[in-house]
Amino acid sequence: MTETPAPTIVVAGAGLTGLSAAISAREAGARVVLLEKGGREDVGGNAAFSGGLFLFCYDGPDDLTSITEDFEPGMKADRIEAPPYTRQAYAAELSAMSGGQAEPRLVDRLAERSLDTVRWLAAKGVRFTFNRTVGAAVRDGVLHIPPGQILTCTGEGMSRGFEVIRPLLAHAERIGVEIRWCAPLVEVVRGDGRVTGAVVGDGGETVPADAVVVATGGFQASRELRRECLGPQWETVRLRGTRLATGDGIRAALRAGAQKAGAWASCHSAAVDPTRPSPQRSEASPPFPLHGFWLGVLINRHGERFVDEGPGPWVKNYSKMGKAIMRQPGCEAFEIFDQRTAARVADEFAGAAEPIVAHSVPELAERIGVPADRLAHTLQAFNNACPSGDGASEGRGTAGITPPKSGWASPLDQPPFVAYHAVAGLTFTFGGIRIDPDGRALSADGTPVPGLYAAGEAVGGLFYGDYPGGAALMRAAVFGRVAGATAAQETKPAPHPA
Ligand SMILES: Cc1cc2nc3c(=O)[nH]c(=O)nc-3n(C[C@H](O)[C@H](O)[C@H](O)COP(=O)(O)OP(=O)(O)OC[C@H]3O[C@@H](n4cnc5c(N)ncnc54)[C@H](O)[C@@H]3O)c2cc1C
């Protein structure tokens, strides 16, 4: 038998998806060229700015011991309460949050491979710890963590997600992935019906390839595509993550014969502090997310409420608050709290955002620039609609007002009042390339485009109106890994007899 050369797989994008694809293809025996549009300082794409939360299935503590040894340090709790999160629960939640539109085959694959992929990341050096912040709380010495959202990567602050990227980049380099920085994919080349290469950068150099994996993220950083797909008000929106995900990889895949999928007019967008700009390099902090809305009310420039602030745990709702704000006059809003919750908001949900403090409703109205009579009427109507008795909990909703506040409804009647100015921060777009559960890019007739694969934010079909926190990093790692492995498997040459 003679040695046959290893196939060459080009992976475009060095975010979590691209690194996962590159590593899995390389470990399956392929030669891998990883093209990254940015410089080395841009590695990681959106993951570098992320909270590092992964949503995955587990049956109980035994599933977690192989992933994290961190059962105590700094926890300030005697034990952890984290209900199991089954595949069925994962699938049901994704399906419900997409209004039934998420493609069942993709949902099932994400749920089915999630635990195994978190273990795979841990084996590559990613360190995980228990989620102590995102929707988690210590009560009576017990750390309660929402089902599925149990682990984040270790690291400090808002951009702890970079700690997912650092070990993966080191691993990819160690195993011989050839990384080319400042090398954007501009075109996927096809010949004889299958992919034969990737055109890189302005010079138009073609890298010959047996397969191309598109892992270039969404199109949220393209002003033109935002206007075209999301609407004109999105043109000047703040970004929460990478400035390089401009959709050029998606467009190259579409030109090569792939089909569009998913919600091109929708996106993940949170309420953020308007004083912080869109981040530039990976080490920059994203605009601080103002996730305290569920502890007060959100009002618009006219002094009116416009959204249900408490339809469930905030961590299941924050991703649609930016869209709700974008629909308001001036695309802005104010989060308003009283002394029942102001200290908690300042502590947990406001970062360095500047609080606007007022001792009465008219003073508040003047300070935030909304009509005093409207604001007084809105707050009075809200207070009257809150259930009687003290305390706020998920089960306490308003009665008789529109929009309702379905949970955590407590009157705002203990001045001084505190307001935070909020605008939308765009996290990522939901529309992209159609794929099958193995990461093959599909053409209009539903058949694979030979040699073309895609994963992560570059694909559509999983997230629609809303999504559960942690599912995006999980999608990136699961489908990146799957697409890289499929590409390597399907380009493996049959051995030739001598
Ligand atoms: C502030 C913030 C917080 C978040 N927190 C969480 C969280 O806690 N949990 C969670 O699940 N998700 C979270 N997310 C979402 C999550 O980070 C992303 O969904 C995920 O990282 C997407 O990975 P990706 O590799 O598919 O895309 P990206 O991260 O966008 O990576 C794409 C890469 O491709 C490069 N690129 C672009 N165009 C080209 C081209 N033409 N050629 C070559 N390279 C190109 C980019 O520079 C980038 O490096 C968060 C996102 C943000 C912004």
Q: Where are the domains of the chain?
A: 8-218+430-491, 272-278+283-425
Which runs of E-coded beta strand occur in 203-251? 205-208, 211-214, 238-239
- Which residue's CA lies nearest to atom 38 of ligand 1? 216
Distance 308 CA to ligand 1 centre (A): 29
CB 171, CB 26: distance < 8 Å: no
pLDDT, position 147 = 86
Residue of the CA atom closest to atom 2 of ligand 1: 50
What pLDDT, in 10s, does the model give residues 315-329? 888 988 999 999 999
* Stretches in the chain below the pLDDT threshold 50: 71-72
Ligand 1 atom showing the smallest separation from residue 184 Cα: 42
Closest residue (by CA) to atom 52 of ligand 1? 50
Sequence-separated (6 or more) residues with CB below 8 Å from residue 377: 303
Q: Which residue's C-alpha comes closest to atom 40 of ligand 1?
A: 184
Interval 46-84: pLDDT, tens: 999 998 999 999 987 778 877 876 644 555 566 777 788
Q: What was the pLDDT predicted at 72?
A: 46
Question: Residue 335 is encoded by which pair of tokens?
Answer: 């989060």
Are residues 365 and 372 in contact, defined by beta-carbon separation less than 8 angstroms?
Answer: yes
CA distance 374 to 241: 36
Q: Which two tokens stand for residue 208?
A: 């010959």
Q: How far is the CA of 458 from the centre of ligand 1 (A)?
A: 9
Pocket (CB within 6 angstroms of ligand 1): 12-18, 35-38, 42, 45-47, 49-53, 161, 184-185, 215-217, 240-242, 244-245, 248-249, 286, 427-428, 456-457, 469-474, 476
Ligand 1, atom nearest to 17 Cα? 25
Tell me what pLDDT residue 71 has.
46
Domain 272-278+283-425 part of CATH 3.40.50.1100: no
CB 288 within 8 Å of CB 276: yes
pLDDT digits (tens, 9 = 90+) for 7-21: 999 999 999 999 999
| Spacing, Cα 168 to ligand 1 middle (Å) | 14
Q: Side chain identity at 82, as an amino acid letter?
A: A
Bridge partners (DSSP) of residue 418 are 337, 357
What CATH class is the domain 8-218+430-491?
A: alpha beta
| Atom number in ligand 1 closest to CA 456 | 26
- Cα–Cα distance, 123 to 261 (Å, whole number): 33
Shortest-distance atom of ligand 1 to CA 472:
11
Q: Say if residues 26 and 32 touch (Cβ distance below 8 Å).
A: yes
Q: Which of 128, 154, 473, 482 to mutate to test the pocket of ligand 1 (most atoms within 8 A of CB)?
A: 473
What's the CA gap between 186 and 206, in Å, rounded? 10
Ligand 1 centroid to 377 CA: how many Å? 43
